[in-house]
Structure 1
Amino acid sequence: MSLTLGLNSALSGLLTNQKGLDVISQNVVNVNTKGYVRKQMTPESRVVNGIGAGVQQGALTRNVDEGLMRDIRRQTSTQGALDVTHTYYPRLEDLFGTVGSSTSISHQIQQMQASFETLATQVNTPAFQQATVQTAKDMTTQFNEMTYHMQNLRLEADRAIQDTTGLVNKQLEDIFDLNQKIVRNNAIGGDIGDLQDKRDNALTTLSKYMDVQYFERGDGSVGVFTKTGKTLVDKGPATLTHVATTITDSWMTAAGGNFNKLTVSTSDSTDIGEDINDGQLRALLDLRDTVIPNLQAQMDEVAAKLKDTVNQVHNRGTIFPTQNSKMVGTRQLVDPNNPTLNGSNPQRIWFSGNDDTTIALFDTDGNQVASTTIRTIMSSTSYTDAAGGATALDMSDSASTPGVKMTDVAAKIQSWMRQQSYQGNVMSSASASIDTGTLVLDTGVPAVSLAFRDQKATAAGSATTDARINFDVDGDNKADKQVAGFANFFGLNDFFTAKVPNSIVDSDVVSKDFTLSTARSFTLLDPTGKIGNTIAMSAGSSLYDIAKKINAQTQTNESATLSTSTLTTTSSTSLSFTDSNGTVTQISLAAGAMSLKDIADAINAQNTSARAAAVQEGPNAYRLRVWDSRGVPLEINVVGGTIGTSDMKSYLGFQQSQLVEASVIPEGSGYRLRIRQTSDRELYLGATPDTLTPAGSFITELNMHTASTRKSGVLEVRTDIQGSPAKVSRGAMQYNTDLGKYFLSEGDNTTALALGDAMSTKTQMATAGSLYAGSYSFAEHAAASIAQVSTDAAHSKDRLDYQTTLGQALNSQYASTSGVNLDEEVSNMINFQQAYSASAKVISTLQEMLDVLVNIVK
């Protein structure tokens, strides 16, 4: 028995040392394998019934410092984020340039200023006029291109988010698959070390994409979660989903719902972006939603202020000796020529104080043909209004019902011009209209120029000042905004234009916990008229409360666009209106001829919450609009009403619509309320003033204003000025006290000088992006953005360098504890080899002894 026991013991030594050599060989061949952890097999004595029975393989252990691994994964997440930002910031630096660079936007703005100043020295030199326009085009082109490239970077980041979610999903699937194998092998006593290595490697790779937390369970599997506790790997792998957008624009934001959400299959949350605090995904989300939008907001702010400031000055000017017989405004107004379709409350304007505006006609020598003032025209019964009546209209702010309708402004100017004569001929072809929603003036005589001069009073030659024009947006006889300059209000002589309507209204940047100080009410309109209901907000309402209320109160049902506002049916029609609780109202329409207004009146006559209006979108474009006064969605069912071979249901084609969308947008250190007309049409905000002194309103409390967003991308020099640089304003209407007449001078550089001054003078800028409100020149504001990009890029590079060094140190420490040391492995190999040889020697010796014993028996 002792020989057999000895033989078994020696055999166990062979097997155990063989396993030890196998482990060492695995360590050696994987010395350069990323993520491989050194394995160690420790032999242990085998005891059977209290008697030593050789040796056996001990536990196969991995030399892993879990605390160090967690530090490495935290560092990996941070470095993953910095690696991403480091690929984007150099491109942003290239885009913005340096403050002193001749290609930077701040330099282009300075060149624009210098160009106006140079023009003022020789106002009638075509080369200088051309140079001024070209410099302006170069500047606007750079604004446009910066916006284009920044939005492309956002698009790239959004696509990278989609790609990275795919990589995350791959790692989650691998971790779950390895979990399954580890649990299975663990249950049958198999080796799991290499599987654990692979899982650790997958966890580290996952940490590069996003920060995670994980816990090992008793069965050897690990559960993986976001830092906020959302499950990523448990009973199965979660699936992250993000579909990249195909287009982006500067107004688009994730908060506004303009980018698809990043979702996870194991959570009901609509977006887990906020659950990710580090890693490549966090950096990409920040670039798409914060870093680039903030820079874009800063560019939009300077572009918008520059546009408004230059236009205000340019509208004061004249282009003599170039003739200017026609002026086309840029301000889009609610369609004023369809009061029946658009309601009875037209938009109105009036002057503040004694302000007035001279309108004058000049011949080719700059001599006055005729002059008067806007107040004089409006108040005189010698000139007819839009209805053809010789009425006196009050444009003062002291009238009981202040304001003059836009159609009356146009009609009375036209009536005045047509009563003037040039070279003995009455100017009967002169016209002034607002048919397209913008004011268009034409003297009808190419040799007769038109000019405006804002003044402090009506008397001829009064001191110049920008007349204060009060604008009643919603027809409630209360001013909703004030604009400086009559011509500037209508945009009759703008230098810069935008290629898109003013379809977005923003608040200033305010704190997230902002609430209204008192109850407020306001209305929203587009060129078709009022949209939905008047919106009433209680005191204490937050930005999110306001946005939610706007979205509810402006939902409508819109008919198809119809080419006529009248129709004829040959059978009766029934229309029913229902909400989630049932029928709200229903109407019946007899067969015969009717108009959209007739249908709207029939709906409104029911005196229910269902309301309707007939609206006109443009020439030969009409709609029937229906909404609920409670701000709830309506379903409309139309039965009957034969129209030719069709019926009323198909003809009207009602669709639920959200013409206005409101959202709360993060920007810089605060938030904006953003209201957008979803069809990209002009949006107007009218508000009811309170009874305080001075009076405030929803507009003033949040400083709601036409949004600056998009301006950098759509700014351009007015098209006809690009084609004819002589149309740049250089001079201004002057008054000759001796003659008591106005005149235009060929060498007048008044406006050219003023344009140069406007470009260099500090202007109050609102908070935009990461730049706080303050007084800047345009070049200074642009330079501040350039400096910010440079600073942020340098800071990102410094952080990346630090994290790289830290990562190297952590990896070195990890390698010293968990990596393979060849010298140590060779030493252990010799030990196992010697032990193996010794065990073999024991076996051979015992074999000889057994042979002797067998031979004796024989």
Structure 2
Amino acid sequence: MTISSAIQAAQSGLRITSQKADIVAANVSNSTTAGYVRRSLIVSENIIAGQSSGVRSVGVARAGNEALSTERRSIGSDLSQADLFAATWNTISTRVGSTADGASLFGLFSNFESALSNLAVSPESGSDMTATLQAAVSLVNEFNALSDFATSLRADADNEIAIGVDTVNSALKGIEEINAKLAKIDQSSGQAAALMDERGRLLDQIAEYMPIQTVPRQSGGIDIVTQEGVYLLQSTARQIEFSPSTAFGPTQTLAGGGLSGMTVDGISITPGTSSYGAVSSGMFGALFTLRDTDLPAFSDQLDTLAGDLITRLSDDSIDPTKTPGTQGLFVDSDGSGDPGLAGRLALNPAIDPAQGGNMWRLRDGIGATSEGASGDTTILQNMLDAITNVSPMNSGGFQGSYSSSELLAQFASMNGQKRVSHEAILSSTASQYTIMAEAEVSETGVDVDQQMQDLLIIEQAYAANARVIEIASNMIDRLMEI
């Protein structure tokens, strides 16, 4: 090797160590950047005219592990679904309350039952009569509010679906554009690595809403397909179609055409449907289940509870003044009997002073035309017996025999159990996701300590190459002196 070739080799070494230092610096600065994958310089021997002439860079290696990333995204879809279920049922359970919560539906009914019991003991008491009326009004208002609450949650779910569809469509379009850019550049370049990182972040966005798989292409691009086999991107991004709704009453359902599903090129991917392409997990899985199954079932249970109250207190044997077959203390405000009864539950106008009625009819009967004996407890005791008697129930998810308070307690318990169940699933799924995410990071992430060790080695290599140039320069100086 000549002195000049030695200098050239050392110069190439300086350039390579400088590039390595740049990559280490980039790794360290992005150690906490979401989606960043560790880089390293690909180095090869430089051969000129059959002779070794130092080293050269042939590209940037990206420490990606597609198998781990795919598995982590799959579990991530399950985690997004579990998290949304747990959060929603926690909200529902908190709103419904428990049997120990005085502001809950059960608590308000207990207040009504207690007030009615006190009134049955002292039917002449105006304060007890007022307390009973107010307790009944509070109970009605809570049924109405819970019905509105369920409708609001369905509207929120539908809106979140619309937002998710826009997010996924935007991400698919972004990946299509990245695929096109990758096809035009060197796949081992730093620019390509940055584009792949951005593509990974977009894939993570999509995976939050639905589980996906990727199919690599020779150009460096990828196709995207759902786990059920529906292509979302095949050379070009396909549009997910969804139409947000404006009404969410009991008659608005997916099956009835009142609510929209999701389609891709005419193929239904709506979770919960019989289509082969129905999405099975992710936020879409949770949102559609909540909108179309869980929340309607919750509303149906409320209707069952409201219907039970109306039926118990409308028995003709309770109040001889009432027209046979008509409703008693609690009524369906429009009398239709259609779904949504909890939202229409009202106090009988004949008893409610706010509706032109008279409070004393609580004691004397709905059909009474004038006040009766102040000490008569017959109708009050009949009403108390009606709500405390145990009756069979096989509707709205309730099976067994219950008194009114037992039925309401069962309702609170069922919602609490769903919360606990979904929280347990969330805890398990989160643990799985953490294990998989940590495994991925260990393979592809940035270990700052390791990068600092690499930087020390780079520093030593830089100093060695600089020393070679220095010695070669001294040798040339000596030759010039001869």
- TM bucket normalised to smaller: 0.7 to 0.9
1:717 lines up with 2:347 in the alignment: yes
Cα distance change on mapping 1:761 and 1:58 into 2, 3 Å: same
Do structure 1's residue 157 and structure 2's residue 157 form an aligned pair?
A: yes
Residue pairs, 1:66-77, within 5 angstroms = 66-77=66-77
Report the CA distance between 1:171 and its aligned residue.
2.2
Distance 1:159 1:129 in 2: 45
One of 818, 824, 827 as aligned partner of 2:444: 818
Give, in whole Å, the separation in 2 of the partners of 1:501 and 1:212: 49
- Does the Cα contact within 8 Å between 1:186 and 1:219 map onto a contact in 2? no
Distance 2:417 2:141 in 1: 25
Write the letter of the residue equivalent to 2:391.
Answer: T
Report whether the alignment pairs 1:498 with 2:128: no
The residue aligned with 2:388 is 760
1:277 pairs with 2:275: no
Separation in structure 1 between the aligned mates of residue 306 and residue 359 of structure 2, nearest angstrom: 21
The Cα shift of 1:825 comes to 1.9
**Aligned in 2, Cα 1:144/1:190: closer, same or farther, shift over 3 Å?**
closer
2:43–2:57 contact (8 Å) kept in structure 1: yes
Alpha-carbon displacement from aligned partner over 1:626-656 (angstroms, at most 9, x marks no partner): xxxxxxxxxxxxxxxxxxxxxxxxxxxxxxx
Q: Check whether the contact 1:120–1:730 (CA below 8 A) recurs between aligned residues.
A: no
Deviation at 1:36, TM superposition (A): 1.3
Contact 2:329 2:348 in 1 (8 A): yes
1:148 corresponds to: 148
| Residue of structure 2 equivalent to 1:832 | 458
2:290 is aligned to: 287
Deviation, 1:298, is: 0.9
Question: What runs of 5+ residues in structure 2 fail to find an aligned partner?
Answer: 273-277
Matches within 5 A, 1:613-624: none
**Offset at 1:148?**
1.3
* Corresponding residue for residue 234 of structure 2: 234
Task: Note closer, same or farther for the CA distance 1:271–1:232 as it changes in structure 2 (3 Å cut).
Answer: closer
Shift of 1:138: 1.8
* C-alpha separation in 2, matches of 1:802 and 1:188: 39
Residue 308 of structure 1: SS of its match in structure 2? Answer: helix
User: Which of 1 and 2 has greater Rg?
Assistant: 1
| Partner deviation per Cα, 1:691-741 (whole Å, 9 max, x = no partner) | xxxxxxxxxxxxxxx54x2111111111132021223364799xxxxxxxx
- Cα 1:16–1:750 shift into 2, 3 Å: same
Instruction: List aligned pairs for 1:27-42, cutoff 5 A.
Output: 27-42=27-42
Q: Which residue of 1 aligns with 2:257?
A: 257
Which stretch of the first structure deviates more once superposed, 52-61 or 302-311?
52-61
Q: CA 1:748 to 1:825, structure 2 compared with 1: closer, same or farther past 3 Å?
A: closer
1:792 partner amino acid: K
Matches within 5 A, 1:382-781: 487-488=324-325, 491=326, 494-502=328-336, 707=338, 709-723=339-353, 724-728=358-362, 730=364, 749-768=377-396, 771-781=397-407
**Counterpart in the other structure of 2:102:** 102
CA contact (8 A) 1:186 1:220 kept: no
Pairwise CA distance, 1:284? 2.1
TM-score, scaled to structure 2: 0.86
Are the equivalent residues in 1 in contact too, given 2:210–2:284 (CA < 8 A)? yes
Does the residue aligned with 2:186 lie in a helix, a strand or coil? helix
- Deviation track 1:595-642 (CA, whole Å, cap 9, x = no partner) reads xxxxxxxxxxxxxxxxxxxxxxxxxxxxxxxxxxxxxxxxxxxxxxxx
Aligned to 2:315: 312
Question: Equivalent residue of 2:236, what SS?
Answer: coil
| Count of matched residue positions in the alignment of Structure 1 and Structure 2 | 469
1:440 matched to which residue of 2?
none
The answer on whether the counterparts of 1:731 and 1:748 sit within 8 Å (CA) in structure 2 is no
More strand by share: 1
User: In the alignment, residue 818 of structure 1 is paired with which amino acid?
Assistant: T
CA distance in 1: counterparts of 2:107 and 2:166, whole angstroms: 43
Cα deviation, 1:580-604, whole Å, max 9, x if unaligned, reads xxxxxxxxxxxxxxxxxxxxxxxxx
Q: In structure 1, what is the Cα distance between the partners aligned to 2:462 and 2:116? A: 94
- The residue type paired with residue 816 of structure 1 is S
Pick closer, same or farther for the CA change 1:116–1:844 going to 2, 3 Å: closer
Equivalent-residue separation in structure 1 for 2:459 and 2:116 (angstroms): 91
2:300 equivalent among 297, 302, 305 = 297
Separation in structure 2 between the aligned mates of residue 823 and residue 316 of structure 1, nearest angstrom? 83
Shift, 1:128, TM fit: 4.2
Q: Which has the higher helix share?
A: 2
Whole-Å separation in 2 of the counterparts to 1:189 and 1:765: 69
Q: Deviation at 1:288?
A: 1.8
Equivalence for 1:195:
195
Match of 1:483 in 2: none
CA spacing shift, 1:190–1:825, aligned 2, 3 Å: closer
* 2:64 equivalent in structure 1: 64
Separation in 1, partners of 2:70, 2:157 = 28
Per-residue deviation, 1:797: 2.6
Deviations, residues 3-51 of structure 1 (Å, cap 9, x unaligned): 5544443343233333222222221222222221111224222335654
Q: From the superposition, tell whether residues 191 and 3 of structure 1 become closer, same or farther in structure 2 (CA, over 3 Å).
A: farther
Q: What CA distance in whole angstroms lies between the structure 2 residues aligned with 1:92 and 1:842?
A: 73
Structure-2 change in CA distance of 1:752 and 1:42 (3 Å): same
Match of residue 14 from structure 1? 14
The 1-side partners of 2:156 and 2:466 are apart by: 66
- Please report how far the alpha carbon of residue 786 of structure 1 lies from its aligned counterpart in structure 2 after TM superposition: 0.7
- For 1:738-785, what per-residue CA distance to the aligned partner results, in whole angstroms no more than 9, with x for missing partners? xxxxxx9886544332221111112222331xx243322222222112
> Which residue matches 1:82?
82
Q: Name stretches of at least 5 consecutive residues in structure 1 with no aligned partner.
A: 319-450, 453-486, 503-705, 734-743
Report the equivalent of 2:275.
Answer: none
Query: What is the one-letter code of the residue matched to 1:12?
Result: S
Alpha-carbon separation, structure 2, partners of 1:113 and 1:190: 73
Whole-angstrom distance in 1 between the partners of 2:343 and 2:258:
18
Q: Label 1:193 to 1:120 Cα distance change in 2 as closer, same or farther (>3 A).
A: same
Q: Deviations over 1:396-429 (max 9, x none)?
A: xxxxxxxxxxxxxxxxxxxxxxxxxxxxxxxxxx
Which residue pairs with 1:791 in the alignment? 417
Percent identity for Structure 1 against Structure 2:
23
| Superposed displacement of residue 316, structure 1 | 4.3
Aligned residues of 1:732 and 1:750 also touching (Cα < 8 A): no
SS at match of 1:36: coil
Query: Residues 187 and 89 (structure 1 numbering): CA distance in 2 closer, same or farther, change over 3 Å?
Result: closer
- C-alpha contact (below 8 Å) 1:102/1:108 kept by paired residues: yes
- Give per-residue Cα distances to partners, 1:784-823, cap 9 Å, x unaligned: 1211221222233333334444433333333322222223
Greater relative contact order (Cα < 8 A, sep 6+): 2
Distance 1:129 1:828 in 2: 84
Could you give the per-residue CA deviations for residues 440-489 of structure 1, whole angstroms, max 9, x where no partner exists?
xxxxxxxxxxx76xxxxxxxxxxxxxxxxxxxxxxxxxxxxxxxxxx21x
Q: 1:500 to 1:248 in 2, by over 3 A?
A: farther
Q: By how many angstroms is 1:300 displaced? A: 0.7
Aligned residue type for 1:495: L
Alpha-carbon distance in 2 for matches of 1:189, 1:109: 70
Tell me the CA shift for residue 84 of structure 1: 2.3
Q: Is the 8 A contact 1:731 1:752 kept in 2?
A: no
TM-score (norm 1): 0.50
Q: Structure 1 residue 147: deviation in Å?
A: 1.0
1:809 equivalent in alignment to 2:435: yes
Aligned-CA RMSD value: 3.1
Assess, with a 3 A threshold, how the Cα gap between structure 1 residues 17 and 131 changes in structure 2: closer, same or farther.
closer
